[in-house]
Chains A and B, each alone.
Chain A
Amino acid sequence: MKRFVTTTVEVEGREETTVVEVPAFEPAPWGPDAALETVGERAPRLDGVEKVTGRARYTHDVRLPGMLHARVIRATVAAGRVTRLDLSRARALPGVRATLTGEDLPRIYWLGDEPLFGSAIHYWGQPIAALAADSDAVARDAVRLARVTYRSEPFRVRLPTGTESIRSGHFGVTPPETRREERGDVAAALRQADVTVTATYRVPVALHQALETHGSVVSWEGDRVTVYDSTQGIFRVRRELAEHLGIGQHQIRVISEYMGGGFGAKSSCGAYTVAAALLSKATGRPVRCVWDRHEECVDAGHRPETEFRVTAAARRDGTLVALDVEAWVAMGVVGWAGGPGKIFQEQYRCPNVRVAQHFWYGNVGGMEAFRGPFHVEGAFALESAIDLLASKLELDPLEVRRRNHATQDPAKARPYTTELLSECWDDVAKRIGWGAARKKKKKTGRFVRGLGMASQVWGAAGGPPAYALVRLNRDGTALVQTGTQDLGTGARTIFAQIAAAVLGLPLEDVRIVIGDTDAGPYTNTSWGSMTTPSVGPAVRMAAEDAKRQLFEIAAELLHSSPEQLKASRGRISVCGGEPSIAIRKITAQLGDIMIIGRGQRGPNPEGVTMRSFGAQAAEVEVDRLTGRVRVLRIVAAHDCGRVINPELAESQLHGGIILGLGYALFERRESDAKLGRPLNLGLHEYKIPTHADIPEIDARIISVADPAANHVGAKGLAEPPIIPTAPAIANAVFDALGVQVAELPLTPARVLEAIKTGSLDTH
């Protein structure tokens, strides 16, 4: 009989409580000492050869017979109303096959209560119509022939600063909302503190800039809709598209075999998907709709600009007594109000924490979750404030962190499943040469050097629902089917490793099918660092279920009992002895009777908190003449439970650190307050790190397994490494200069200003 329970799943700082089915059985957890074949090995990526030969087919590469190319027409005002939309010249252009305006659409809610392709404009670049043509070049020509007139309205694209009040009333924008939370009594604690620091920290609008832009290719044939989509969540796209189109989910198949990066911005069904679907229905031909790089920079989400006002108070010995933070977040026209103050509640043991979070909606495209959303912004403010406090206390910043080490979850006052933050600090301090070496760094003359440290906490335990199937073939090879997707993390490889480990098969005998809603059962969206800890246990359980069936048959053949059998290197043997039998011999005897294992992710444990932790240290050199910051070295240690493949895990660490480096040093999207439009579109104007910008990076994972979190023992790793990078770099600059640069990115102008004034926005 099935049993259902409620469980809590944390997704990017949001806790979601859902009802889940309890599996009929769950395998015993793989503890730290579990002897596992394949799992834990540096197996090369299973899709590496596809990717180095150019054979890997991305959504951008899909070419279907008769395929049309769609483009959207975008608003050129930041707020107002379309008073006239004339597509007659566009339609008359040879090669244009169909147009799509708000009038042609079913009512599809897009920006809150506003319909897709509606006449109300809320941001520059908002899509207002679409068209499809024989070639992309003709589609673009046609877009230029569209005639649109507007009635403009007042707008607001930048976060109000200083004494300017935040008010609603700008056209079509939701009023700001505020959330306040307090633990303990901050006012009383501040009165009794020995030392208090207050500072304002700012972070910019940052763009995801996946190299494959958002896009879909859709073929609507009869009652079947096939969608190739560059997405992090094939099942979410299927559900949302079915709702938008008013058709059944069974009519839609979403495929994302290879996708060129997501970083959080590719989690929902896009306007490009809906437009391609409806244009395909109208023309009877497949339609490709892909954003270009400029559209990607305007209408594909961003990390929001945020301002923090932080007060940190401590006793003379460095013990935190109060953290008081007020955060103003510029969300864009829509977005989800996450928790920029959450890391203040979670990172350190502090009895009194007050958080006020204001979410301000303005006339720029909607924000989207971006790798470590809100924690990345909050970590810069928190970790900078900790170093400012340490400086005022004349204590080593690492010692202040150690003194406030949270050995249990300070927000919920309950234990962690596992927690190795202290070990991360030790490891990083040793490798970067903290302590005596730090004091010896050159602090005078033109080029000065400094070391900085920052910590990280992130809810990355995943959860249900997620399902997998394992099928054993007649020749003893296995097929793993699951509805997840590989964003470049290596999901395809690690799930094959888990299945191979359970079945005792060599990795090359396991094939995995993902990224197709018709070919695998449901799994959650790949966000919140949750793919490995969510889908991993489902794959393991499916493989265990298949192995159980295999062992029942093998026990007959080996005159033994299933409990005494083990599978290894393609053979099944009675524990610790002879005889053994090849798995393929058993499956061959079964003929076409197929062993099918079914697995699902069980509920999360109650009464405990599951987190990934980490620490990073940076060494910088600052040119006091030009203000240029050069990062020389980054050292990282992370704790994320069991690592399925250390090579891929290291790649994830590099990826997070390099994104964090760009955020620290040069990334920001600027919008013009008068024109209401973003200014620096493209990868030349919006700088991301290149080969030439990369310092020495020494990153590793120090954890073994977290068997209490789930029976694979793995927690998430994708987001944690970006969180501490920018604050570690900023703290190193503080160490080098003796003054803080309180706004990211740490541009030469800001560094020079900080040197000149001795202090920027700090008191």
Chain B
Amino acid sequence: MRIALAVNGSVHTLDVEPRASLLDALRDGVGLTGAKLGCERGECGTCTVLVRGRPIYSCLALACESQHVPIETIEGLANPPEQLHPIQRAFVAADALQCGFCTPGQILSATALLRDNPRPTDAEIKRAMAGNLCRCGTYPKIRKAIQAVTRASPRPSGRPAVRPSE
């Protein structure tokens, strides 16, 4: 079947099988291989992309049901491409990656977290990121990278610097 996907601000028209996942369509149809297939069952998070700004496991989404919604992949995060997004810069600076296979998914989950909650607590980071597995053990440095972006971001007005719960 012919579908249209809105990926990183461009519309791609593709022929896919009805059973094709969004991940398959991105990797084999659009040619964006930043999102990985690690488990194909929504367990590892390497396939994370943003749909309507929310992180999803693209291995569990059907391509044909992902039309007419904005999809963001790791390839679209640096905009313009030669200028890294602050969270990408923070990952490099904190060495928040080793083999790098889970990194695109980690960065997209972190991006969604920080858009929703620019100053997350440590517990909020752990909770929001717990669906993105890493076998190399980069978790402490990923947290450090997210905290570095948090510190660098301007404090939203009208919100207390430290919430009462902290």
Question: Which A residues are within 8 Å of any B CB, using their own CB?
Answer: 44-45, 47-58, 60-61, 63, 135, 137, 208-213, 258-261, 263, 292-293, 487-490, 647-648, 650-651, 654-659, 682-684, 688-692, 694, 697
Interface digits, B128-147 against A, CB 8 Å rule (1 contact, 0 not)?
Answer: 01111111111111110000
The main secondary structure of chain A at its interface with chain B is loop
28 contacts between A and B (CB under 8 A): A48-B92, A49-B88, A52-B97, A53-B75, A53-B77, A53-B81, A60-B36, A60-B37, A63-B31, A211-B36, A211-B38, A211-B46, A211-B99, A211-B102, A212-B99, A258-B99, A260-B100, A488-B136, A647-B95, A654-B137, A655-B98, A657-B137, A658-B137, A682-B39, A683-B41, A683-B44, A683-B133, A688-B133
Query: With A488-B136, A651-B141, A655-B98 given, is the CB distance from A260 to B36 under 8 Å?
Result: yes
Q: How far is the CB of A44 from chain B (nearest CB, A)?
A: 5
A692 to B137, CA, bound (A): 12
Asked whether, in the complex, the Cβ of A212 is within 8 Å of the Cβ of B95, the reply is: no
Interface size on B, residues (CB 8 A): 58
Task: Name the distance in Å between A719's Cβ and chain B's nearest Cβ.
Answer: 13
- Could you list 13 further interchain pairs (A-B, Cβ under 8 angstroms) beyond the known A261-B99, A690-B130, A691-B125? A53-B75, A53-B81, A54-B32, A54-B33, A54-B35, A60-B37, A211-B44, A259-B99, A488-B136, A651-B98, A659-B135, A684-B41, A688-B133
Q: When the two chains form their complex, are residues B33 and A488 in contact, meaning their CB atoms are under 8 A apart?
A: no
B5 at the interface (CB under 8 A from A): no
Contact of A648 among B27, B37, B95 (CB under 8 A): B95
Residues of the B chain whose Cβ atoms lie less than 8 Å from the Cβ of A656:
137
Cα distance A293–B130 in the bound complex, in angstroms: 19
Q: Establish whether residues A691 and B100, one from each chain, have CB atoms under 8 Å apart when the complex forms.
A: no
Q: Which of B16-72 contact A (CB under 8 A)?
A: 17, 19-20, 27-28, 31-41, 43-44, 46
CA distance A325 to B63 in the complex (A): 57
Residue of B with least CB distance to A259:
B99
- State the Cβ distance, A65 to closest chain B Cβ, in Å: 13
Are B141 and A691 in touch, CB under 8 angstroms? Answer: no
Could you tell me the distance in whole angstroms from the C-beta of B124 to the nearest C-beta in chain A? 11
Cβ of B78 within 8 Å of any chain A Cβ, yes or no, is: yes
Q: Which residues of B contact A (CB under 8 A)?
A: 17, 19-20, 27-28, 31-41, 43-44, 46, 73-75, 77-78, 81, 84, 88, 91-93, 95, 97-104, 107, 125-127, 129-143
Q: Which of B73, B92, B132 contacts A45 (CB 8 A)?
A: B92
Q: Are A45 and B95 closer than 8 Å at their CB atoms?
A: yes
Residue of B nearest to A654 (CB): B137
Using known A-B contacts A44-B93, A488-B98, A654-B137, determine if residue A52 contacts B88 with beta carbons closer than 8 Å. yes
Known: A54-B32, A210-B135, A655-B136. A48 touches B40 (CB 8 A): no
Top 8 A-B residue pairs of the complex, sorted by shortest distance between their CB atoms: A54-B34, A488-B99, A260-B101, A51-B100, A658-B137, A655-B137, A54-B74, A488-B98
Q: Pick the contact of B17: A44, A50, A137, A487 (CB < 8 A).
A: A137
Q: Which residue of B lies closest to A50 (CB)?
A: B100
Once the chains are docked, how many angstroms separate the CA of A61 from the CA of B37? 10
CA distance A354 to B84 in the complex (A): 58
